[in-house]
Structure 1
Amino acid sequence: MTTFSLRHLGGPTSLITYGGVRFLTDPTFDEPGEYPIGNRVLVKTTGPVASPAEVGAVDAVLLSHDQHSDNLDHGGRAYLETAPLVLTTTSGAERLGGTARALPNWEHVEVGGVRVTGMPALHGPEGAESKVGEVTGFLLSAEGLPTVYVSGDNASLALVREIADRVGPVPIAVLFAGGARTPLIDDFLTLPSAAAADAAEILGAADVVPLHFQGWGHFTQGADTLAEAFAGTPTRLHLLKPGEEAEVR
């Protein structure tokens, strides 16, 4: 019996089925293009492998943040209008309205028998929030099933340690791991590959599915560096191409 499955749709976007409940992470459905942010430009280099219609209905969207187009583009925003529930940051819920609901750190909501808990996240080094804005992660749990951590755009191993200390081993980790960098901050904005391997060790994760490491020009690391970082570790690394699916039974 499959307890967890994830279909990688590109960038940070994936369709997760867990405990019979369908979750979509950070929806991005646009074709390749440029997205100005102030005096910077984010460049999307690959298009989606599935349209919103092909994804279909989900029970909830897990949105790490709404303020950056690589996590929520035009097509993603249109998809949110059809979603019955969007779990995100406090500031994001205020901006989005509709079915968006704030999920503060360590608070939880039940979705079809799955408990979704807000997890702390930091989109860059200490002090970065004033420049990059608020982000969040998620923990999925259900009776009789292994817990699942979805990092969102978190770059802080200190927060990963806090999560591990509070909730114990997390068998399945979905890590945003492209080592993103932009001129805004002279440091990684998401986990680089070596830090992703460290995060897996801290969490005690038996299975890791990396996301958000391809499809955008500001990623500095990708599949090759992830494979190298996890080589020799006990973690099963599910290194998916867009359109591929991982299952944990």
Structure 2
Amino acid sequence: MGNVDANRQPVGISVLGGPTTVVDLAGWRFVIDPTFDGPGVNGHLTKTSGPAIAASALGAVDAVLISHDDHVDNLDTEGRRFALDAPRILTNPGAAGRLGTSAQGLAPWESVQLHASDGRRAVTVQAVPAVHGPADGDRDAGGNVTCETTGFVLTGDGLPTIYLSGDNASLEAVADIAARSGPIDVAVLFAGAARVPGRQHERLLTLNSAWAAAAAEVLRAKLVIPAHIDGWAHVTEGVDDIRRAFEDAGISEVLGLAALGHWTVPPTPTSG
């Protein structure tokens, strides 16, 4: 399939660069963690490349999903503007308080069902746990590792179940999601082995490639789309590492590696 534009797919997923991913599902369009700035230094992080598709090319969206608003590699200046222009933001409770009236905070396992008057099937968005660093890592005032963050699971009758990991480094969290959600049709895993000087003793803040392959097996995912594996200097593993890890695990067939800004079509749903 071709490049992402304002035309919606019945079902399609595309990584635009960094963590930013577009999900079209039954007529709904979601964007997770919008980052639309160009390359450059932003605070203590360096962006090395811009998005494959500009925000203006996406047309209208129904909801922006934000794993966390604390870090510019998940919500930069243009991404924040894009999110605030959307009719709905779904995120963690702390971020919702900072982002304003269009934002709804969802605690882990809390969900919201989206309905439309135009006959589109309802889609449920559920917040799921994410741990932004090692389990024994430094915690903020709220008890979160690095900061409060969330993943999401999208479901609907007759639709593929889609897991969006957000910045998560915990296989235990992945196992909890698998136990509660059942088989995942599509897992979009933030898997660039992010490490930042001065943060968590430079240990992993997101899944590395080997852990992403392990997560795919735990989730029994039919399709795994890696995200957040490019575009930022603190991302330490890329597409070649992902490919090798899935080959080593013997599950190369589930790996989806479309070019940035191009659509991937998920497989037939496991159930529903």
After TM superposition, is the score higher than 0.5? yes
Contact 1:205 1:235 in 2 (8 A): no
Paired residue for 1:159?
Answer: 173
Paired residue for 1:58?
Answer: 61
Contact 2:13 2:266 in 1 (8 A): no
> 1-side partners of 2:214 and 2:253: how far apart?
11
Aligned-residue sequence identity (percent) comes to 48
Structure 2 residue identity aligned to 1:88 = T
Secondary structure of the corresponding residue to residue 53 of structure 1: helix
Instruction: Say if 1:79 and 1:152 are closer, same or farther in 2 by CA, change over 3 A.
Output: same
Deviation string for 1:192-223 (max 9, x for gaps)? Answer: 00000000000000100111000000011010
1:192 to 196, 205, 208: 208
Matched ranges for 1:131-170 at <5 A: 132-170=146-184
Q: What's the CA shift for 1:81?
A: 2.0
> 2-side partners of 1:14 and 1:172: how far apart?
13
Q: CA RMSD in A?
A: 1.4
> 2-side partners of 1:132 and 1:13: how far apart?
20
1:114 aligns with 2:132: no
Structure 2 residue identity aligned to 1:106 = W
Secondary structure of the corresponding residue to residue 16 of structure 2: strand
**What is the number of residues matched between the two proteins?**
244
Instruction: Say if 1:146 and 1:29 are closer, same or farther in 2 by CA, change over 3 A.
Output: same
Secondary structure of the corresponding residue to residue 127 of structure 2: strand
Contact 1:208 1:235 in 2 (8 A): no
Secondary structure of the corresponding residue to residue 246 of structure 1: coil
* Structure ranking higher in strand proportion: 1
Deviation string for 1:38-88 (max 9, x for gaps)? Answer: xxx100000122222111111101110000000000001111221011000
Structure 2 residue identity aligned to 1:165 = A
Structure 2 residue identity aligned to 1:217 = A
Paired residue for 1:74?
Answer: 77
Instruction: Say if 1:110 and 1:160 are closer, same or farther in 2 by CA, change over 3 A.
Output: same
Secondary structure of the corresponding residue to residue 230 of structure 2: coil
Q: What TM-score, normalized by structure 2, do the two folds share?
A: 0.86
Q: What TM-score, normalized by structure 1, do the two folds share?
A: 0.94
Structure 2 residue identity aligned to 1:154 = N
Contact 1:116 1:140 in 2 (8 A): yes
Structure 1 consecutive aligned stretches of length 4 or more whose deviation exceeds 4 Å? none
> 2-side partners of 1:110 and 1:84: how far apart?
15
Structure 1 residue identity aligned to 2:28 = V
Paired residue for 2:217?
Answer: 201
Contact 1:179 1:221 in 2 (8 A): yes
Instruction: Say if 1:204 and 1:235 are closer, same or farther in 2 by CA, change over 3 A.
Output: farther
Structure 1 residue identity aligned to 2:190 = F
Structure 1 residue identity aligned to 2:191 = A
1:33 to 30, 36, 40: 40
1:22 to 13, 16, 29: 29
> 2-side partners of 1:248 and 1:162: how far apart?
23
Segment drifting more, 47-56 vs 197-206? 47-56
